[in-house]
Amino acid sequence: MAPFVILIMCFISLAFVSYVHYASRQRRRGGHEKAAKLPPGSMGWPYIGETLQLYSQNPNVFFASRQKRYGEIFKTRLLGCPCVMLASPEAARFVLVTQSHLFKPTYPRSKERMIGPWALFFHQGDYHLRLRRLVQGPLGPYALRALVPDVEAAARSTLADWDGNVASTFHAMKRLSFDVGVATIFGGQLDERRKAELRQNYSVVEKGYNSFPNSFPGTLYYKAIQARRRLHGVLSEIMRERRARGELGSDLLGCLMQSRAPAGDGGAGALLTDEQVADNVIGVLFAAQDTTASALTWIVKYLHDNPKLLEAVGAEQAAIHHANHGGARPLTWAQTRSMALTHRVILESLRMASIISFTFREAVADVEYKGFLIPKGWKVMPLFRNIHHNADYFQDPHKFDPSRFEVSSPRPNTFMPFGNGVHACPGNELAKLEMLVLIHHLVTGYRWEIHGCSGDEVVEYSPFPVPKNGLLAKLRRDNSTAVSVDTDGSRNNNGVN
């Protein structure tokens, strides 16, 4: 018990010191906040705030209960930071779009160090706009047309390795997303040895990303920092090899390596440094993996739980499968654009699961919104999940119903699975392509059974929401073009097979 007591005493001491510092800072502000009207809410304990309440229960319950009590704008304190929560479409647009210059992206220093301080989502202004344009090129619809064969090959490989085994759906989807990310960044120029080095080191970095930032040797964070350095070394070698060949490539890495800043004084602008390129490559890998893998995991579960819907999706995909001579021909970009029902399933899965539950911003000045003060330095969190699950914007919001996207588009700023504004995810079209291709090959070539997971309440956060144990499932090849779900070891004949 002694080490635990010491830890508690240290934590209390830190909380006391932080509280004294905060109180002193508030006095120096000259009482401006007292004159203004802060949002309603509870700040909880000094420094600790309501962090323990957030992490000891379902985050959905935490945010929804406070919204019900205080309204769509409320304050709290999390991880030592005073925060304002916003749960309305208008407030989300205010922070992310119309007044985005008043709110900067903010991440813990430990996470910036892990990915790299030059990654585009840590920045705003000219540098951010330059990097965003660069990334959007290889991730835009025109470039994605040429990437369909790589995505299809990755999907086939993932499902073939899973065939006959009980495995975590989430882990299988993470492998798929990593392979697609590598294909996007490096094109077809990366050999298997380099790919294995990237996968091995990235895996260590990922494990330490959400760990306590303790730099003592042997901790997850320490190991992750060492693996991060090795990742930088591998990427530097790849860049040196490309320069030596005189072929930088037209893939994302090549675009980053060739990019120059806007010219000044009649001369050419500077190239990105290798450190800047490496940070953005690692950033894209991070952005492309867990979020997409989480969404794919939920899609597998939602299809499993809705046999009639699965039958309809199977029929849509079987028609494409038949047109491709039973899969003998590859999928085309045009075919992925024709999967109307499957696309609605993806949109509804993104709404229901709300993988990105909220995003962090920080006020760069005192901001007034609807009569409330958001003080400079406070964290601001638009709550996407609360908006996606609000009955004012989506009828019967807790029901999985893809048909809601058939009649009309959602009201503006009520559906933001990829964020909004200048910091919205630039890879959203790639993520959708990956989902469409995976679903096509899953429902036309396999049937599956799920183990040990029932009910939407069985959710884990790591940090994104996924079904318990990553949705353990057994995949079995089905050589017919039909589709079947098996939950008890017997063939399911819901008019599907």
DSSP string, 268-326: PPPBPPHHHHHHHHHHHHHHHHHHHHHHHHHHHHHHHH-HHHHHHHHHHHHHHHHHTTT
Tally the domains of the chain: 1
Indicate whether 14 belongs to any domain: yes
Q: Is pTM, for the whole model, over 0.75? A: yes
Indicate whether 219 belongs to any domain: no
pLDDT for residue 68: 92
Where is pLDDT greater, at 369 or 36?
A: 369
The per-residue pLDDT of the chain, averaged, comes to 86
pLDDT for residue 480: 62
Q: Is the pLDDT of residue 411 over 80?
A: yes
Distance CA 493, CA 475 (A): 17
Distance CA 88, CA 388 (A): 10
Indicate whether 226 belongs to any domain: no
User: CB of 43 within 8 A of CB of 23?
Assistant: no
Distance CA 483, CA 314 (A): 6
pLDDT for residue 462: 67
Q: Is the pLDDT of residue 375 over 90?
A: yes
Indicate whether 54 belongs to any domain: yes
Indicate whether 359 belongs to any domain: no
Indicate whether 53 belongs to any domain: yes
User: CB of 340 within 8 A of CB of 315?
Assistant: no
Q: Is the pLDDT of residue 404 over 90?
A: yes
102: tokens are 């008043």
pLDDT for residue 31: 46
pLDDT for residue 153: 96
Indicate whether 19 belongs to any domain: yes
Q: Which range among 19-33, 145-159, 482-496 shows the weakest confidence by mean pLDDT? A: 482-496
Arithmetic mean of pLDDT, 294-299:
96
Structure confidence at residue 88 as a pLDDT band (50, 70, 90): very high
With CA atoms as reference, report the closest residue to 432 among 33, 140, 4: 140
**pLDDT tens track for 450-482:** 987 655 557 887 678 889 889 999 999 987 654
- Domain region containing 85: 2-116
Arithmetic mean of pLDDT, 109-120:
88
pLDDT for residue 209: 83
Arithmetic mean of pLDDT, 328-345:
96
